[in-house]
Structure 1
């Protein structure tokens, strides 16, 4: 159907190739939004299109850029597709872009910046996996039609040919955008055979866009779940990260679990669906973990930067993954999960390492999981100042994230219990703030440094200095700030008890 050209003509956007199924009022709104966004990028897009046209090549704004323009959320990143091969694209961009890079050239992509826009131009693609490959084989397509039919979903299979501004939508992406539906251009089986990572992308887009995944797509994801194992850990990690940082990660995570894909990429998550029988009732750990994740997201505003925060979200999702391994049925019908914090931290470290997350992320998530139960010893505020200092010392740079995780970990429906927990944590944070003001708590150190220790004791660098330092640190945690004279006296007292002092 030739759709809405009258609405587009006044600003120069003329021809639409699309579907008969679209709702007029939805499409009209999408068109208005697209016109506004596309006009914003027109000086760059039209000029680039003219350069390629003059060289005898097609160029089109494509994929997520068109989708986001229709959703009125187009940013500064612009994706283009072209009939030109990478070498020719590089030549056409050289001297026009402010900066140019070719790190993606072997995959058909040349990138650059122009007037504040990040631009990537990719040759028409027709990629696919073979049965044993962990990376797609790069193959070039012959036309925009070839390129669009091999894209992941219909909402990403739309293009605007430049500089003529012709909107191309052969698979009904605009209608699916109006229906908020994730559907594939061809059969989902073919799409997921071409690139199994698209199964995770379906879950990610459901979370990012708030869209529903078509039943036939869900069925194919379920049937082909094991195929995800041929995808590299790095690509899986990147999709999981994008999903977790989306506005509603529960949606996508639930889809990954329900289709069986999570069994292959994050098996610790479906393992939380512990059986609950009539004799051993306890919380549904899986649903609890998803709720903690949602509550942590609501509390991210407390963090520096205000979120979204990957470390906090990973820790919230995985904080109880040690429970299945530590579950024990107690006499009388109770259930215990002793040391699930320690076990869970080790499990999280192993899984995140397998997914190739950066070491800093792994360390921070593992630390939060191992510490997430510490607060529960505070009930009623009976901790000494020494215990509060140790809590801060052990949390280190993760203290603010630990505050968020601990507060989010309360999912009780008992309002009285929930209020008591909140008041207890308010009390703990107030004490931390007071001690921090009094003692520079965030940088707890002994009252004497290593050089002072060596000078006072007349010893050389070595393990003995470390032992003395740790002793003074324990004194600092127990008693707070000491004067230099008191710290010196405590060091000499300790030294007098060491066998090395008499040698």
Structure 2
């Protein structure tokens, strides 16, 4: 990590010179602080959002900047928080006046007073987010590091600037943020902070579900999500957020028969799938694919441990979980439900890959067959090399059979070769139960391979089925 105290090269974007000019005309000092500086020092790429702290009014500074910028962007003002935001050249710039904060026990919303840069750095969550670069013309680019943020960046440590017990109690969302940063950056949370998070875990209940989910999304979207979920479990936060996962933890033993720990298995699956997809909702499906195993777990002397119907139960639990966390109850939730419901289907047919089983799989999965296969392949967590290879070879057979069946039978996005209108016209009947019976019979005959998915064969099948139902060609 660079120890150079001046970083003018970080401020090469024209907007910084304009902010300097605006601050100078108002006679105030200002600094770029937080994530922009942190990510620059970590060489994580160019940030698309910039936080500016002004020793004075952040709102006035934002308005002055907007006047000077060529496109005169609109300034959004948030008076309650004393902040303002504008967008320019694809970058979001937020302005705030330096402030000090105090908190009430029942809210994470602080009581705010004007303050110094030191006050503003004191109130920040982690030492790595207190780093600031001066935008004053006299010392443009100078790094201010009052809480040894550079040292913590180098050591890959998440540490609070002040007493962690106070930091996390004041704003419990910081507990989630600590775990999220540790996961995203592959940093360690220092021991005192971990103890403080554990001590204050019940304070998470004052945080809105939307804020919690926002942090969960970032943990799930990281390269190795298990890091975050292991920290959530270790600190005791997980039962407050996702008790369905906590319920999977542990191994029961009866008469010498044990089952695997489904919590740790789940985290392996999520890590596996994260190597192959950035799809947030498919990663959610991996996280929730086994949640039905806790309520369906049973032991019998004949077969040992079973989890019958866990996919169906799990898919129902997805709805309740999404509703509780105020997540979208739309097509995204339905997608996760479908993945959970079908999560064992390819595994079941992999050892005996028949045409009819594959046709039904493709028919039921529809547009999501590729996502389902990706989930099932991630579900292979055996440490036995022979079994691992065998399972993957079986999935290759399923995939090959899917290609063959689709080329021949066109099952994906299936449309009946014979329409309801054609059935009514042929038998000269009005809308009735018989039409549904015939259409369902044609679909089943195609899926079972009794007839090809084409009009001529389906029409003849329709005539035969109609005859069985006592219908006469009109």
TM-score normalised to the size of structure 2?
0.90
Does structure 1 residue 124 correspond to structure 2 residue 124? no
Instruction: Report the equivalent of 1:378.
Output: 349
Q: Distance in 1 between matches of 2:295 and 2:459?
A: 48
- What is the CA deviation profile of residues 194-245 of structure 1, one whole-angstrom value per residue up to 9, with x for unaligned ones? 2101101111111111111011100011011011011000000000000111
Q: 1:101 Cα shift?
A: 4.9
C-alpha deviation, 1:431, in angstroms: 0.8
> CA separation in 1, counterparts of 2:455 and 2:27?
80
Q: 1:31 to 1:434 in 2, by over 3 A?
A: farther
Which residue in 2 is equivalent to 1:88? Answer: 60
2:397 to 427, 437, 451: 427
Matched, 1:438 2:404: no
Task: Tell me the SS of whatever aligns to 2:376.
Answer: helix
Farther off after superposition, 429-438 or 463-472 = 463-472
Residue of 106, 109, 117 corresponding to 2:83: 109
Matched residue, 2:331: 360
Deviation of the 1:406 alpha carbon = 0.5
Picking from 131, 134, 141, the partner of 1:161 is 134
Equivalent-residue separation in structure 2 for 1:463 and 1:145 (angstroms): 76
Following superposition, the deviation at residue 97 of structure 1 comes to 6.7
- Is 1:269 matched up with 2:245? yes
Deviation of the 1:94 alpha carbon: 3.1
Instruction: Report the CA distance shift for 1:53/1:475 in structure 2 as closer, same or farther (over 3 A).
Output: farther
Tell whether 2:271 aligns with 1:315.
Answer: no
> Are 1:224 and 2:200 matched, yes or no?
yes
Match of 1:404 in 2: 374
CA contact (8 A) 2:180 2:219 kept: yes
From the superposition, tell whether residues 119 and 451 of structure 1 become closer, same or farther in structure 2 (CA, over 3 Å).
farther
> How far is the alpha carbon of 1:75 from its aligned partner?
2.5
Choose the corresponding residue for 2:162, options 186, 191, 194.
186
1:6 aligns to what?
A: none
- In 1, Cα distance between equivalents of 2:113 and 2:445: 68
Q: Which residue of 2 aligns with 1:200?
A: 176
Q: 1:405 to 1:105 in 2, by over 3 A?
A: farther
- SS at structure 2 position matched to 1:407: helix
Q: Gaps spanning 5+ residues in structure 1: where?
A: 1-25, 301-306
Of residues 147-156 and 334-343 in structure 1, the stretch that sits farther from structure 2 once superposed is 334-343
Q: CA RMSD in A?
A: 2.7
CA deviation profile, 1:467-488 (whole Å, cap 9, x unmatched): 5443433233233644423322
**Match of 1:242?**
218
Task: Name the CA shift for 1:239/1:276 in 2 (closer, same or farther; >3 Å).
Answer: same
Distance in 1 (CA, whole Å) between partners of 2:422 and 2:5 is: 72
Check conservation: 2:62, 2:95, Cα contact below 8 A.
no
For structure 2, list consecutive stretches of 5 or more residues without a partner in the other structure. none
TM-score (norm 1): 0.85
CA contact (8 A) 2:105 2:170 kept: no
CA distance in 1, matches of 2:469, 2:302: 51
- Which of 34, 39, 42 does residue 68 from structure 1 map onto? 39
- Return closer, same or farther for 1:308/1:122 CA change in 2, 3 Å cut-off: farther
1:14 maps to which residue?
none
Kindly state the Cα deviation for residue 185 of structure 1 after the two structures are TM-superposed. 0.8
SS at match of 1:100: coil
Question: CA–CA distance in 2 between the matches of 1:463 and 1:50?
Answer: 77
Q: Distance in 2 between matches of 1:420 and 1:266?
A: 34
Hey, what does 2:465 align to over in structure 1?
494
1:27 maps to 2
Q: Aligned pair in 2 of structure 1 residues 478, 48: CA closer, same or farther (>3 Å)?
A: same
For structure 1, which segment, 79-88 or 192-201, has the greater mean C-alpha deviation from structure 2 after superposition? 79-88
Distance 1:466 1:230, change over 3 A: farther
Using the TM superposition, name which of 322-331 and 449-458 deviates more.
449-458
For the residue of structure 1 that corresponds to 2:74, the secondary structure is strand
Greater Cα offset, 166-175 or 241-250? 166-175
Aligned residues of 1:27 and 1:175 also touching (Cα < 8 A): no
SS in 2 for 1:489: helix
SS in 1 for 2:162: coil
Kept in 2, the 8 Å contact 1:97–1:114? The answer is: no
Find the partner of 2:314 among 344, 361, 364: 344
